Amino acid sequence: MTANDSKCKVLMIYTGGTIGMLPKEEGNPISPLVPAKWERFKDFVPSLRDIPLDIDLHEMTPIDSSDMHPDYWIDIARVIRDNYEDFDGFVILHGTDTMTYTATALSFLLENLDRPVIMTGSQSPISQPRSDAVQNMVTSLILAAGKSFNLPLIPEVCICFNNVILRGNRARKVSSSSYSGFTSPNYPPLGEAGKYIKIDTKVIQKPSTKGFFINENLEKGVMLFDVFPGISPKILDSLFSIDGLKGIVFRTYGAGNAPTNKDFLKEIEKATCERNLMIVNITQCNQGMVEMGLYDASATLLRLGVISGMDMTPEAALVKMMFLFGLGYDIKIVKEQMQKNLRGEQSIDLFNQERKNF
């Protein structure tokens, strides 16, 4: 792969995370690792000088991604908005623990995207001899500046990690130690980056022809909850009584099944009918989708107003709910929109039953 004469501009947004971790006490290698300012670790990436691109840096407040939150997602979106017309693509350096949440959030916050937003990080700090950081970073920069390297445009929010390119709102972190830290269980990779970078144009979103803008409101009164054997109705009652709660992503068994005992179902009915809470049903399985009504154990949930999350990841279901409530929609509209494919986050649009097969 060689660069052409078209020299792209890429903005690299540094948020912290493992990629930029250095010992808290300088000179003490056994000191706990903390997110460092870019100035402290930029010299570990000399190869950046050799990439034929114009690369600018925007440094945000470096944080461990365990401290990531919706306000920070909006701040990232604002940085992209403020620099959108000046750059051909964006690379976000981010911690791995919540990278899929941030990638999903940006896929909803960035409206009418027509250029790449590539998220990456590393499993090992850039200061370590066997770190995966430099390769992930360099590959992401090349993807963000695809036209400079005669690569197809990827006009969506992606995760590039260990030579695999994934749709951000389809990705999941599956390992805390392997360099292959992420996968996309219900959607094919957008591409692979071995000796040559290969992009699968059949599975990429089309660039928008409308004006780019960002959404700046997310509803925080939502949560994730796993159903488990023997769950007490008192727990559900306490859960559904949380002040300010608007919706719950319910992670159930298999194809969307949950207990059928009357006490459990009574609490579900109180939540949806009396408290007007939205409950979205997704599977605890890493792969596959909810098929409500296939078994009696899910048919009753359907009758009680629980809606299907199809094959969305937990991150996608939660953030999509934040996004839709944040737009100010009432619960009826949110329920309708939750069951539509808005950003490539699910395989089926429940209202037209179209499914993409790959």
Within-domain flag for 294: yes
d(Cα 235, Cα 129) in Å, to the nearest integer? 48
Is the domain of 49 the same as that of 173? yes
Extended strands (E) in the chain: 9-16, 21-23, 33-35, 54-63, 89-93, 110-111, 117-120, 157-161, 164-167, 172-173, 182-183, 191-193, 197-199, 213-214, 222-226, 247-252, 278-283, 307-308, 348-349, 354-355
Our count of domains for the chain comes to: 2
Q: Are residues 323 and 193 in the same domain?
A: no
Question: Element (H or E) spanning 264, and its range?
Answer: helix 262-269
Specify the pLDDT at position 324: 98
pLDDT in tens, 58-90: 999 999 999 999 999 999 999 999 999 999 999
Q: Is the pTM of this model over 0.75?
A: yes
DSSP β-bridge partners for residue 167: 158
Please check whether residues 205 and 97 belong to one and the same domain: yes
Per-residue pLDDT, 341: 96
Domain final position from 175, 194, 214 = 214
Range of the domain at 279: 222-355
DSSP string covering 61-125: EEE-GGG--HHHHHHHHHHHHHHGGG-SEEEEE--STTHHHHHHHHHHHEES--S-EEEE--SS-
Q: What is the pLDDT of residue 137?
A: 93
Q: What is the CATH number of the domain that holds 243?
A: 3.40.50.40
Q: What are 293-330's pLDDT values in tens digits? A: 877 778 889 999 999 999 999 999 999 999 999 999 99
Are 19 and 168 in a shared domain?
yes
Q: What pLDDT is stored for residue 138 in this prediction?
A: 93
Q: Are 326 and 274 part of one and the same domain?
A: yes
Active-site residue list: 18
Q: What is the CATH number of the domain that holds 26?
A: 3.40.50.1170
Please indicate, yes or no, whether residues 239 and 334 belong to a single structural domain of this protein: yes
Q: What is the pLDDT of residue 46?
A: 65
Q: What is the pLDDT of residue 5?
A: 58
* Same domain, yes or no: 57 and 130: yes
The alpha carbon of 153 is separated from its chain's Cα centroid by a whole number of angstroms, namely 20
Question: Splitting the chain (358 residues) into consecutive groups of 10 residues, what average pLDDT does each group show?
Answer: 72 92 74 78 71 91 94 98 97 97 98 98 86 92 94 97 97 92 96 95 96 97 96 94 96 93 94 95 94 82 93 97 97 95 91 48
d(CA 258, CA 281): 10
Q: Do 14 and 157 fall within a single domain?
A: yes
Q: For residue 69, what pLDDT is reported?
A: 97
203 and 303 assigned to the same domain: no
146 and 20 together in one domain = yes
